[in-house]
Amino acid sequence: MVLPMIVLNLGLSAVPPPLLLQRTVPAKVAEVYKAWTTTEGAKTFLAPEVKLELRPQGAYEPYFVPTLPAGMRGAEGCTVVAFEPNKSLTFTWNFPPTIKKLRDAGARTFVKVELAAEGAQTKVKLTQTGWEEGADWEQGRAYFERAWGFVLARLERRF
């Protein structure tokens, strides 16, 4: 006898999965870590101006267009969440001004950068989490998939 399968819809929805990108960089872990965690280093690949305070709740604010008015320059208001020297860095991340609804609402995701030695090179794993459902969030995810790919390519060229 075959019993019918009953599927209940409990109103639960799946959380959107993390965005994951990886790149191997031709430099030692300590050099790559310094690029992500110092103002001088971040200016070499991330943005022309950077406010960075490597401490929990410290600023992690790359300004992609520093000449624009406050609130439109870049990752304003983003902060360091955690770090482990020469291993990882986690920071909050906002949405670009082009995704106005999420930018104005102060929506944030989390970005974790993990580093692992591969001989004389470094494997960089970037994971962005905290996604929600909705058209604006999907637009943001598509934006960051392209943007982080560009950032990791610039990091690789920097070395």
- Written as tens digits, the pLDDT of the chain (159 aa) is 444 444 444 555 578 999 999 999 999 999 999 999 999 999 999 999 999 999 999 999 999 999 999 989 999 999 999 999 999 999 999 999 999 999 999 999 999 999 999 999 999 999 999 999 999 999 999 999 999 999 999 999 999
What count of residues does the chain have? 159
Residue type at 112? K
DSSP 87-118: TEEEEEE---TTSHHHHHHT--EEEEEEEEEE
In the block, residue with structure tokens 């992609």: 64
Q: Which letter does DSSP use for residue 17 in this model?
A: P
Q: What are the backbone dihedrals phi and psi of residue 117, each rounded to the nearest 5 degrees, phi first? A: -70, 140
Q: How far apart are CA 92 and CA 130, in angstroms?
A: 10
Per-residue pLDDT at 14: 74
Residue type at 48? P
Q: How far apart are CA 20 and CA 109, in angstroms?
A: 13
Q: How far apart are CA 32 and CA 131, in angstroms?
A: 27
